[in-house]
Each structure stands twice: as C-alpha cells, then as structure tokens.
Structure 1
C-alpha cells in the first residue's frame, strides 16, 4: 500500500470529473444530454484501450463471464449519467454536486436491501442525517410559491433521480466485482453507455460547432482519465482512506461555478451540503472502524489457531 499515492490519484480523479462536468455544462445549451453522454463515453474509449495496453490486459482484460450483469449496470449507470447531464444544464454546478452526494448515502440503504449487507443504527442514522441535508439543498427548488422556477425544479428532480440510479449502479458493481475484473467493469460500462446513448438520436441530436465539439471530446477524454485515476487510487490505498477526498469536488464546484459560470451559492445550499458531507464522512469513518475491527478479529483467530 502507498496511501499518499492513492490519495493523490483520488484527488486527480475528482479534478478530472469536475472538469468534465464543467465542459458538459458549458455545452448543455447546444447539445441534448443523450448526445453529451455519447461523447463522454465514446471518446473515453481510446484512453481505456491505452490503459489496458499499458497494463498488458488488452487481449484479455475485457473478457467477461457475466455479460447481462454488465448490461444492467450499463443501463442504470447510463440513465444516471443522462439525468446528471440534464441537471447540469438546469442548475448551478455546486448544487448539482451537492445533490449528487445523495448517491453514496443511498448505496448504504440499497446494499442492505439487495445485497443483504448488515447495516446498523449508526450508519442508518448517518444516512437519515445526510438525506435531511439533501432535502435542505432541494427545499428552495421544491417549495410552492411565486418564485418557483419550473426549469430549476425539474433540474433538482432529475439530479436526485440520477443520484438514486447512480447508487443502484454501485450495487450492480458490487455484484460484478465478485467475478469480474476492474478492467472489464470499466471497459464494458463505457462500451454499453456509448451504445445506449445512440437510442436518444430521435430526440434531436445536432451537429455541434467546432468549439462545442472540442468541449465534448475533451469531456470524454477527461472522463476516461478520471476513471483510470479513480481505479488506480484503490490499488494504492484502502477505499475508506481515499473516499473522503470525494468531497474536494465541492471546493472545485464552488470555485468553477463562481469564476466560470458566475454562480453564487446560497446559504441554504451551503448548509445542506455541509450536512450531507458530514454524514458521508461519518459513514466512511464507521466503515473504516468496522474494517479495522474485522481485521483484528481475523488476526486474533489466526493466532489462536497457530
């Protein structure tokens, strides 16, 4: 284990994904979300092929024994991506980021429901706290009144739906890792999302101008690089150590939103985001604590038997 390298790769992945989201947001006025999903996925493929070649897995890294598992993960994950991209065109970048933090909270719930993972009162309480934070972020968009903006309300709803599907996609990934390699999971998701995004062609794809096309291609390349950095981070450090660095995305979202898109966060959004981040860190701390306990128990059992 090389924890500092793992943390570095995690932060780099967050930077790549936030730059990707910013490019998608900048292009959202010119291309529909389904077309953005295609560019994000298809132009990540050269990066992934290069990564497989460097790892010596170009011939066999993509092989799978569970094609339908990849399909269902791809279907749910692509839908989540499309909803997220839709939200980027309707809401400020920091707000989309804050609502997206609901996904890791919901993974805890879905893992208990679908994977029979044991979830005790502490983590459930943290999830409940985090969802209160999400509701605080959403509250200005969902309140009934004269100031209600229909497009922003729609944006809040689709981003939240995207977070739900993103959490469900992570459940599929947890099932896949039992039999599939990381390379296969990354490769087949990218291929599946590229293919599925083509079904949105009837909903008005356009021929983008050069500047928009460059932004979309860059988004795909950055997404591919980000995926590689993310995968590599877990090779060098425990997941519980690098996971909290996901929340550096809020710092980047606030900075980019203010400097690039002239977006000023509201106090309500900041309070809600802070609560969600606090709840997420609590869950990560609990996971790490339980992991250390299990390791000590295994060690103690091994000592007794020796």
Structure 2
C-alpha cells in the first residue's frame, strides 16, 4: 500500500474528469448529449484496452461472468452520463458538479432498498443533511415564478439531478458486479455498452461536428479513459475510505475552470448548499471507515478462538 500515491492518483483522476466535462460543455450548445456519450465512451476504449494489455489483464477484462449485470449497469450508467452531459448546456460547471454529489447519498438509500444493507440513524441523518444541501443548490432554479430565473435553468437542474439518481443506481449495480467481476471487465464493458446505447439517440438528431468540436469530443473520450484508469489504480494503492473524500476536490477544480474558462461566478447559495452536500458525503465515508475498522477488529478477535 502506498497511501500518498493512491491519493495523488485519485486527485489526478478527479481533475481529469472535470477537464473532460469542460470539453463536453464547450460543445454542449450544438452537439446532442447522446452524441457526446458516443465520443466519450468509444474513444475511451482504446485507452482502456492498452491499459489492460499493459497489465496483462486483457483476457480477464474481456471475459464477463455476469453479462446481464453489465448490461443493466451500462444502461443506468449511460443514462446518468447522458443526463449529466445534457445538463452542462444549461447550468454552470460548479453547479453541475455540486448536484452530482447527490449520487453517493442516493446510493445509500438504494443500497438499503435493493441490496438489503442496514442503514442506521447516523447515515440516515447524513443523507438528510446532504439532500438538504442539494435542495439549497436547487432552490434558485425551482423558483421560476419569482422572477430572474428561467425555465431553461430549472430544466437543466432536473436533468443533472436525474443523472445523479441514475448514477446512484449504477453504484448499486457495481456493488453487485464486484462480487463476480474483475474491475477490468466492469470498466471495459461499461464503455462498450455506453457506446452501443448511444446509437439509440441517432434519430433525435446527431450533428456533424466541426473539426474543433470533433477534437474536443475525442479528447474528452481519451481523457475519460485515462481518468478511469487513474481512479481504478488509486484504489490499488490505498484504502477506499482514505481516497474517497478527495472526490470533493472536484468542486475546487470546477470553480477554478468555471471562472477561468466560462466566466461563471458561483453564488453564495450554491456554495452553501454544496458545502452541506460535501460535509454529508465525508461524514458517510468517515462512518464507513469506522465500521470497517470495527469489523476488522472483531474478525481478529474471533479468528484465534476458531
């Protein structure tokens, strides 16, 4: 285990994912979200395949044990990606990032509903705190009748929040897949499934991208593949509970890129709501770490007696 290396890889993956989203946002006014999903997924696959060959995991990565599990994970994951990309056309990058933080909070709820995981008062309270933060971020977008905020922004907020719902569901499918599937297989087959599903949106009007747009979209796909590899590698070098909180560094990167590239200035309401969501996420991660350490101690006590 190399904790500092794991943290460094996690932060690098977060930064690259935000840059990828920025490239998608530049093209979002003209390129449909379904087409962006195609570029993001298709051009990530060569990167992932090279990585699998380098790690000598190509055979494992192309051999699914639960094919339908990959299909369902790909379906909800693609919906999450598409809705998130669509929302980038309507909302500032930091706001899209903040609303996306609802996904891990919703995963707690979905895991209790579909996987039978026990959720105690602490996690319920943390989820409630986080969802309150989401509502604060959303509040200016939902008061369309009070003046100043248009239906366009409210629609964008609903798209991003819908994406967070599907992203939370995708995490539930991943939790089931990891019991039978190698990480390499989960990464590869998601990109493949998302690429194929993106063609469903062809009748809704894909466009011929300009050379500049094509370069940005291809770049987003390549960066997405690199970021996925860095993210996966970070968990090889450090415990998940250690590196997971660094996901929230994405807000700092989103704020910086949003201001420097898109001229987006965050509001105090958005920052306040985002702070609550981040705090809730960190509390859940901290609690999971404590419970994990407690279970490990219990196993060490029971094993010698067995």
Tell whether the structures are fold-level matches, with TM greater than 0.5: yes
1-10 or 56-65: which moved more?
56-65
CA RMSD of aligned residues (A): 0.8
Alpha-carbon offset, residue 59 of structure 1: 2.8
- The answer on whether the counterparts of 2:60 and 2:182 sit within 8 Å (CA) in structure 1 is no
SS in structure 2 opposite 1:137? helix
Alpha-carbon offset, residue 184 of structure 1: 0.5
1:44-85 CA-to-partner distances (Å, cap 9, x unmatched) read 011001011001122332201211110011010000000000
Residue 19 of structure 1 corresponds to 19
Residue 172 of structure 2 corresponds to 171
Scaled by the length of structure 1, the TM-score of the pair is: 0.98
Alpha-carbon offset, residue 10 of structure 1: 0.5
Residue 281 of structure 1 corresponds to 282
Gaps of 5+ in 2: none
- The answer on whether the counterparts of 1:30 and 1:212 sit within 8 Å (CA) in structure 2 is no
Q: How does 1:107-122 map to 2 (within 5 A)?
A: 107-122=107-122
SS in structure 2 opposite 1:260? helix
Residue 162 of structure 1 corresponds to 163
Residue 69 of structure 1 corresponds to 69
Structure 1: how far apart are the matches of 2:66 and 2:192?
15
- The answer on whether the counterparts of 2:60 and 2:184 sit within 8 Å (CA) in structure 1 is no
Gaps of 5+ in 1: none
- The answer on whether the counterparts of 2:5 and 2:234 sit within 8 Å (CA) in structure 1 is yes
1:232-268 CA-to-partner distances (Å, cap 9, x unmatched) read 1111111110000000000000000000000000000
Q: How does 1:79-98 map to 2 (within 5 A)?
A: 79-98=79-98
- The answer on whether the counterparts of 1:78 and 1:193 sit within 8 Å (CA) in structure 2 is yes
Alpha-carbon offset, residue 304 of structure 1: 2.9
Structure 2: how far apart are the matches of 1:282 and 1:172?
23
Alpha-carbon offset, residue 146 of structure 1: 2.3
Residue 130 of structure 1 corresponds to 130
Structure 1: how far apart are the matches of 2:41 and 2:18?
16
Residue 238 of structure 2 corresponds to 237
SS in structure 1 opposite 2:216? helix
Structure 2: how far apart are the matches of 1:270 and 1:31?
29
Alpha-carbon offset, residue 271 of structure 1: 0.3
Structure 1: how far apart are the matches of 2:58 and 2:291?
37
Residue 6 of structure 1 corresponds to 6
SS in structure 1 opposite 2:147? coil
Structure 2: how far apart are the matches of 1:265 and 1:148?
15
Scaled by the length of structure 2, the TM-score of the pair is: 0.98
- The answer on whether the counterparts of 2:10 and 2:230 sit within 8 Å (CA) in structure 1 is yes
- Superposed structure 1 runs of 4+ greater than 3 Å apart: none
Residue 267 of structure 1 corresponds to 268
Structure 2: how far apart are the matches of 1:111 and 1:236?
26
Residue 58 of structure 1 corresponds to 58
Residue 228 of structure 1 corresponds to 229
Structure 1: how far apart are the matches of 2:65 and 2:295?
30
Structure 1: how far apart are the matches of 2:28 and 2:264?
16
Structure 1: how far apart are the matches of 2:100 and 2:114?
21
Q: How many residues align?
A: 305
